[in-house]
Each structure stands twice: as C-alpha cells, then as structure tokens.
Structure 1
Amino acid sequence: MGIVFVEYKVFPEKREAYLQWMNSLTREESRLELYEGSDQPDLFVELWRDFSEEEYRTYKKTRLESAGSPWAGLADYVPGGAAKIHIWHFRRAER
C-alpha cells in the first residue's frame, strides 16, 4: 500500500468556488487530506492514503482521462486545465 499525491494550482479568483466544490465532492472520503501551500497560496495537494499500485493506476486514469468522472470538473479551476494536474503514487521506502 502507498499514498497518492495530487498537486495543482487553482485560479485565485476561483479559490472559494473550488473549496466548495471539493467539499461537496469529498465529504465522505476518509482517505483524503487536503493541504494548501503556506508559502504558495492557491497551490493545493491532495494526500490520499492506502492506495495499492493497481488502484492508483485506475484512479489516475479516471481522474485525468474520463470526461464522465466527477473529478473532470477540477480542470475548470486549474490554469492550464488537466495537463497541470499532477498525480503520483509513493510506496514506503525499504530501509
């Protein structure tokens, strides 16, 4: 299992609308933590916990390629659209 980071910047003038949209979309998502850059307002990182690599691949494809996904609306808040939404999976490093 690992974690998924989703990183993007939102239009400053759309920040409040984005936060309302995100709240309605993720109200029941217990695996999600949302962070905003302390030094970079309007830069957001979603931290999703407990993702297998297989689940991540499906999740990423759905987020970035499926017009029918509830996540497709995120591109409207991001300068540059979906191309500027970055998604990565990390697994625990072996020491």
Structure 2
Amino acid sequence: MYKLLTNEVGNLFSWDGAKGKRKFKCLKLANVILDTVRANNHTKNATEADIIVYIKKWLVRSKDRMHLEDKRRRRNENQEEEDGNQEEEDGNDTM
C-alpha cells in the first residue's frame, strides 16, 4: 500500500467513507489491489474480507504514520540547525 499511496492521501480515505472521509472501496484502485493480491501466489488464498481488513488497517494508521514522519522531519531539521550552530561556534573559537 505504501508504494501506491502516500500517508497524506491515505488519510483522506476510509474503506466505507466514515467520518466524512472519501470511500476507498469505490475506487478502481481498491479493485486493482484485491485482484493483485488474489493473483499473487503467496496470497492467492486470502479472502476478500482478509484483504479488506488489511486495507482498512492501513488507511486508519496513515494518520499515525503522517505524524511520525512529521516528528522525524522536525527532529532532523532541529539537529541540522544545532549542527550548523555548533560549526559556527567552533569557527568563532579559532579567531
């Protein structure tokens, strides 16, 4: 799923369109995923219900993944800023 949708896009959908979100089950992509999982030798025995449960969970967790990505990005930006400040301080010590 992560190769098909970003977390931001996933967060716009729920399987049934609950909580004012868009209905994922109505997308052609939903049928493509179902057909692809069934065509795969490793997952060909999965029922439609099994696949839908997985898709639902992925969509629900997209918001959490979005927040985690944002946290990591902010942490990295802060670390880069701190590293830049440290380099400036080190450069001032040699003068």
Note whether the superposition's TM-score is higher than 0.5: no
TM-score, normalised via structure 1 length = 0.30
Higher relative contact order (CA 8 A, sep 6+): 1
TM-score, normalised via structure 2 length = 0.30
Q: Which has the higher strand share?
A: 1
